[in-house]
Structure 1
């Protein structure tokens, strides 16, 4: 078995597998996004510019249409269990929960979880996150890809759907509140 010695460019993480959320809180801020699934570490690099554009535009759109009792937030900490921890790209939560929360949200706080698919997260966002968010009881999950929006709604403990809205058509959505947009506008260049 080969032993990998830390180098100047490697990050030494405290703890050892299986990791817990408490271990994760001691990790260095090294630019990576760390998530946990059953104690296994999931690592993603910082989001690409198109990914950031889509998140920012969707957050602004959701903010515009949100009732005063609900609030969209990007990249929040979602503690599902001691060994399951995710960072959705965007969520919608009750405003009262935001006021009372400092670090972690529980699945019961989340009305909508959104993931914008990147090359490095494609498999996770399409299958794994869909199953985990449903298992956690999150009522609605949106998966955004460059060509479409995929909307999953919780029914009897699993997600129905998805309903698919292609770029170029307007998605008329009512959950968690009424909003309408063309998914293609989330990634389209400014002024195009």
Structure 2
């Protein structure tokens, strides 16, 4: 017997708070909050999860002391609650028992895009990260040729500072030294 995912009956209302979203029972879905609206999406497919795991390892290996990488952590940006695929932030803040990371404790977020992502989803998350003052944003494209792009916050938006496709080496000095082939994020080792 297949069990249906439980979505709150009033999930369409437009007045959710972070506290209400955090109080929802775990149901196998990602539950984020954007402008008072509950955004519910399924856990990403296996290739997406695999890429996130490998990206987390690469970031952890490259990050200086005091910074750590972690996957799927609640990030509070004002009244919004987002769940980046991978986040690099203060080790102290990540080890804190609180339910959310604050933007001030986050150095970089990464989003992995796969065929199921909508154009709206691709745009609004990076826009909210920029508005929240997250200094660096990494976008990983899994559709077609695997590509990784690193962006730095400049003014009110992100500017590309490094990019590479599978078979090339991504090199970036910010926010810390990164050097890897995007092909490392997919397939067997």
Separation in structure 2 between the aligned mates of residue 12 and residue 92 of structure 1, nearest angstrom: 30
1:47 alignment counterpart: 44
1:3 alignment counterpart: none
Higher mean C-alpha displacement, 51-60 vs 97-106: 97-106
1:112 alignment counterpart: 108
Q: Structure 2 regions of 5+ residues with no counterpart?
A: none
Larger Rg: 1
What is the deviation of 1:32? 0.5
What is the deviation of 1:12? 4.8
C-alpha RMSD over aligned residues: 1.9
Number of aligned residues:
182
TM-score scaled by length of structure 1: 0.86
Separation in structure 2 between the aligned mates of residue 65 and residue 162 of structure 1, nearest angstrom: 17
Change (3 A) 1:49 1:12: closer
1:160 alignment counterpart: 159
1:58 alignment counterpart: 55
Deviation digits for residues 44-77 of structure 1 (CA, Å, limit 9, x no counterpart): 1011110011011111111122222111111100
TM-score scaled by length of structure 2: 0.88
2:8 alignment counterpart: 13
Contact 1:115–1:125 (8 Å) recurs in 2? no
Contact 1:94–1:109 (8 Å) recurs in 2? yes
Change (3 A) 1:110 1:101: farther
- 2:76 is paired with a residue whose SS is strand
Deviation digits for residues 125-154 of structure 1 (CA, Å, limit 9, x no counterpart): 531111111111100000101221122110
2:185 alignment counterpart: 186
1:148 alignment counterpart: 147
Q: Structure 1 regions of 5+ residues with no counterpart?
A: 1-7
Change (3 A) 1:190 1:12: closer
What is the deviation of 1:23? 1.2
Separation in structure 2 between the aligned mates of residue 68 and residue 58 of structure 1, nearest angstrom: 18
Aligned with residue 86 of structure 1, among 82, 85, 105: 82
Contact 1:125–1:143 (8 Å) recurs in 2? no
Separation in structure 1 between the aligned mates of residue 34 and residue 56 of structure 2, nearest angstrom: 26
Separation in structure 2 between the aligned mates of residue 173 and residue 12 of structure 1, nearest angstrom: 41
